[in-house]
Amino acid sequence: MSGTVRLYVDHPLGQGQTIPLERPQAHYLFGVMRLEAGAELLLFNGRDGEWRCEVAQAGKRGGLLVCQEQSKPQAAPPDLWLVFAPVKKARTDFIVEKAVEMGVRRLVPVQSDFTNSERIRADKQRAHAIEAAEQCGATFVPEVAEIQKLSRLLDHWPAERHLLFCDEAQAGGSSALAGLLALQEAGRGPWAILIGPEGGFSEAERARLHGFDFTHPVALGPRILRAETAAVAALTLWQAVLGDWQ
């Protein structure tokens, strides 16, 4: 069903299940996408997999869809968090979008010592994550946590979760790929990737992060990357070595 409309709904999905549409969804499907009764589309809710559905009723203010058959089983990405400091809005949106496409289970925005942008709304980024999942064919939508101070997050860090610390101060040192290959023995349990703000990490933050047993500092190549580039680079390397790209 290449080119078929794909939509996230917060409603149970199953054989013969009917899904009532609210006005915004009806406007999108019937006003923007021009679907009519009898048309097919794909639905997912992050819990029940993806389902091929048919439009039973189409109206300007509402509608009704009926599930026909499951087209994809439910699949969760690896147990990977992306911890990142918000940057400018468009770049933060880019980080969220690419994290969903590349497969993370949780997005954790943090305020570090040098974070330039403290404004981020979890509900807005959740909506952005849903849009990204609709576009990339994912059946899972990552949780978007409320922003919190990096220091507080580290105070309550679960010791069993490995933390890949992308330290810009190590640029030009040993490669992240070599470091990750060496970490394969650490196992495929829970992980997180930490990306800093535009201003980098403070010396106090860097010293604290290097002091944890669960932290694995790495360099992302010979040059210092922008935050959004670093997020994509780190996710790519982690997925290729320890994730579900193998």
How much is the pLDDT for 187?
A: 61
How much is the pLDDT for 192?
A: 96
The answer as to whether 97 is a domain residue is yes
The answer as to whether 48 is a domain residue is yes
**What's the pTM?**
0.91
Residue-wise pLDDT tens digits, 44-61: 999 999 999 999 999 888
Tally of CB atoms within 10 A around 121: 12
Average pLDDT over residues 158-168: 91
Residue-wise pLDDT tens digits, 113-156: 988 766 788 899 999 999 999 999 999 999 999 999 999 999 99
The answer as to whether 1 is a domain residue is no
Query: Considering only CA atoms, which of 56, 120, 63, 73 is closest in space to residue 93?
Result: 120
What is the CATH number for 202?
A: 3.40.1280.10
Do 133 and 64 share a structural domain? Answer: no
pLDDT at 223 over 80: yes
Q: How confident is the model at residue 221 (pLDDT cuts 50, 70, 90)?
A: confident
Average pLDDT over residues 11-33: 94
- 3-state SS track over 171-201: CCCCEHHHHHHHHHHHCCCCEEEEECCCCCC
Average pLDDT over residues 183-212: 87
pLDDT at 169 over 80: no
